Amino acid sequence: MPILSVRHVTTYRYRQPVAFGEHRIMFRPRDSYDQRLIEARLTITPEPVTLRWLHDVFGNCVAVATFQGRASTLVFDCAITLEHTPESAPDFPLAPHAAFYPFGYGADDIADLSRSMERQHPDPRNEVDAWARSFIPPTGRIATQDLLAEMTRSVRRNFAYLARSEKGVQDPVTTLRLKRGSCRDFAVLMIEAVRALGMAARFVSGYLYNPRGDRERHVGGGSTHAWVQVYLPGAGWIEFDPTNGIVGNRDLIRVAVARDPRQAVPLHGSFFGFPADDLGMIVSVAVDEIEPNGLDARGPNATPAR
């Protein structure tokens, strides 16, 4: 199992010194059976007056920073080390009743999954519905894993990845018509399609690892990445990355999960000044593998995960 390091730096620049409002930071990966956080360090310049940590309604770890004074730059520098356990052959042990689509959730699950099954975007001509159902054969029955895997890989084959710096996501109907978009756009399209088929899906924000030596590199690296989780009885929440056609957690480092992308923004805050003072934001994310002896060489002064 590889040991990965993540360096995530976000820099805001301003034409003149401005004051800063509260900022909410979601950079810290979620601890789980398939990823174990070893170290985490967050450095903010200028240094905030207060920095407190909390868990949101989805269990994501959020840091909240408040500031005094003014500055012409604001930098959030996060360094993370974690142990990642990829699924070598994602073959999910589904409950017998969910092995083939269509299937239904039990009454106990529905109570908690219902909001993750609701459509969030208008589809007046049922274009997303039609696209979702195009993966179902004429018999109307297909292995659930095959259905979701083919939908994931179809986006990778037939859509063009386009990095976008604009906030928010593209409407799923627009993504479907243009056949292009960012990782956020592809994730939202697949979420809406999965929900159209009656399954629960949620948005995931995190980081993407490009293993050295892989002949085909993933797209969407160099910044934060987005993908999808679908709830499958017997297997739980399973990862699907339509941008890269990944089924399972391979090379995906989970930071935040949410019902809606607006609930999983990696960094959100405000400043006090003129609109023209804003010179933009620069985001840099680097994910690398650490040799085990390299981890030991850092010695006793390494910062433990909080």
In the predicted model, residues of the chain with pLDDT beneath 70 are 88-89, 213-216, 293-306
Give the separation between CA 263 and CA 19, rounded to whole angstroms. 25
Give per-residue pLDDT as tens, 73-130: 999 999 999 999 987 667 788 999 999 999 999 999 999 999 999 999 999 999 999 9
The answer to whether the bond into 102 is cis (omega within 30° of 0) is yes
**pLDDT given for residue 91 in this prediction:** 76
Q: Residue 217 carries which DSSP code?
A: -
**pLDDT given for residue 52 in this prediction:** 97
- Domain borders along the chain are 3-84+265-301, 96-250
In this structure, CATH architecture of domain 3-84+265-301: Sandwich (2.60)
Which residues are within 8 A (CB) of 250 and not within 5 positions of it... i.e. 6 or more apart?
86, 87, 88, 90
Fold classification of 96-250 is C8orf32 fold (3.10.620)
**pLDDT given for residue 211 in this prediction:** 86
Q: Is 190:163 a contact under the CB 8 Å cutoff?
A: no
Give the separation between CA 173 and CA 118, rounded to whole angstroms. 16
Give the pair of three-digit tokens for residue 143. 């292995």
Angstrom CA distances, 42 to 10, 130, 178, 221, 262, stand at 11, 45, 39, 21, 23
Which residues are within 8 A (CB) of 53 and not within 5 positions of it... i.e. 6 or more apart?
61, 62, 63, 64, 306
Give the pair of three-digit tokens for residue 40. 């985490």
**pLDDT given for residue 302 in this prediction:** 43
**pLDDT given for residue 89 in this prediction:** 60
**pLDDT given for residue 166 in this prediction:** 74
**pLDDT given for residue 304 in this prediction:** 42
